[in-house]
Amino acid sequence: MGSVKDLVILEEPKEGKLGVGRFVFSDRYSVFDYGEMPDPINGKGKALCMLSAYFFERLEEAGIKTHYLGLYDAEQKKLKRFDEVDEAVNVMEIRLVRVIHLEKKNGYDYSSYKSLKGNFLIPVEVIYRNSLPEGSSVFRRLEKGQITLSELGLSRMPEPGERLANPFIDFSTKLESEDRYLNRNEVLDICSISEDELLEICRVATTVDEIITRETEKAGIINEDGKIELAFDESRQLMVVDSVGTPDECRFSYDGIEISKEVLRRHYRKTDWYKRLQILKGEEDWRRILGAPPRLPEELKKAVSDMYMACCNEITGRKVFEVDSLREIIGRIKELV
């Protein structure tokens, strides 16, 4: 399915009926659009799976519909809730919706969405922004006039790292070859949804953000921003799909360090391999010409592995993995990168 997880289809979705599938969360990762990197990050897949399950269950408690069915225990061949799993697993069972692939004719053709009643993936990513870290695309878009200060709820140009008084809900394409940001009128148009449905999408995204922020704050983790994906079920009710609340969907930070593969990007930016990548990227067959990236130092690989597992432990409040505290692990990472 991608660099993070694979999809096993147990029952394909039909027009009037949801399907069933399983996500298999892997220890793979990718950076700089290169593709799969040479070093798996031990425990990452299980940590992401368990953390996403935890958040799906919190969303359900808040009355938000999701596609989550449970964690799959392969030994007992049964579904379990987060608190019922004795050891971490990397397989989650989910409901499946239809994905409507786009035709490309002088741009992408979204006309097929006009006739859909339900049971399909909404073709946008919904992004919530609680702060504007340095390098955020928002600064570039402000400069180009693609977004306004009033849309951000601001009366002056923000500073890098500024925390917003209220979250800003943003949108980007999901199914196009390159993601592009969308304004609300464009979302209404390409998705063929009503104003009320768009308001409900924003309400769900804001509630998800509030829940993730509440749970991460308990662990001293800052929820900077994140994304969710949504679908309509067979009755055209909104449903949160894909994964939610993990370092792959959210920008979490702890003591100034981002809890994500950004740590690995920082390491690779110091290498000659990365310097060559900057020159070659975009050329035909650039990945083959560039060659394989260097392997990670064992100490850094171990620290990042522990970081993912400690993040799961401390957000969920359960010692799922036998690792040091997140504070100790972040201290090690600061020395390494």
pLDDT digits (tens, 9 = 90+) for 50-75: 999 999 999 999 999 999 999 999 99
**The pLDDT of residue 105:** 79
Which amino acid type is present at position 168?
F
Q: Grade residue 179 by pLDDT with cuts at 50, 70 and 90.
A: confident
Closest CA to 182 of 166, 194, 171, 196: 171
**The pLDDT of residue 170:** 95
In terms of residue numbers, what domain contains 232?
5-336
**The pLDDT of residue 227:** 96
Mean pLDDT of 37-58: 97
Lowest mean pLDDT among 60-69, 101-110, 284-293, 327-336: 101-110
Q: Grade residue 2 by pLDDT with cuts at 50, 70 and 90.
A: low
Closest CA to 111 of 191, 175, 54, 183: 191
**The pLDDT of residue 3:** 63
Mean pLDDT of 280-291: 92
Q: What is the pLDDT of residues 249-264, one digit of tens each?
A: 999 999 989 999 999 9
Half-sphere exposure of 106 (CA within 13 A, CB side): 0
Q: Grade residue 4 by pLDDT with cuts at 50, 70 and 90.
A: confident
Beta strands in 143-237, from DSSP E residues, in sequence order: 162-173, 181-182, 222-232
**The pLDDT of residue 25:** 96
**The pLDDT of residue 151:** 86
Owner of token pair 């220890």: 27
The length of the chain is: 337
Owner of token pair 């949504």: 230
Mean pLDDT of 310-332: 97
Output the six-digit token pair for 47.
């940590």
**The pLDDT of residue 182:** 94
Which amino acid type is present at position 159?
E
Closest CA to 126 of 68, 168, 160, 64: 168
- Residue 196: strand, helix, or coil: helix
Mean pLDDT of 185-213: 97
Cβ distance 22 to 92 under 8 Å?
yes
Residue 1 confidence (pLDDT) above 60: no
Q: Grade residue 314 by pLDDT with cuts at 50, 70 and 90.
A: very high
**The pLDDT of residue 81:** 98
Taking residue 101's Cβ as centre, other Cβ atoms within 10 Å add up to: 8
Residue 104 confidence (pLDDT) above 90: no
Output the six-digit token pair for 331.
């201290």
Domain count, the chain: 1
Burial group, residue 306, by CB count within 10 angstroms (0-12, 13-18, 19+): buried
Residue 11 confidence (pLDDT) above 70: yes
Tell me the average pLDDT of the chain.
94
Output phi, psi for 290, to 5 deg.
-65, -45
Task: Give me the helices (H) in 133-194, please.
Answer: 137-143, 149-152, 184-191
Q: Residue 259 sits in a domain of what CATH number?
A: 3.30.470.20
| Beta partners for residue 79, in sequence order | 72
Lowest mean pLDDT among 105-109, 168-172, 300-304: 105-109
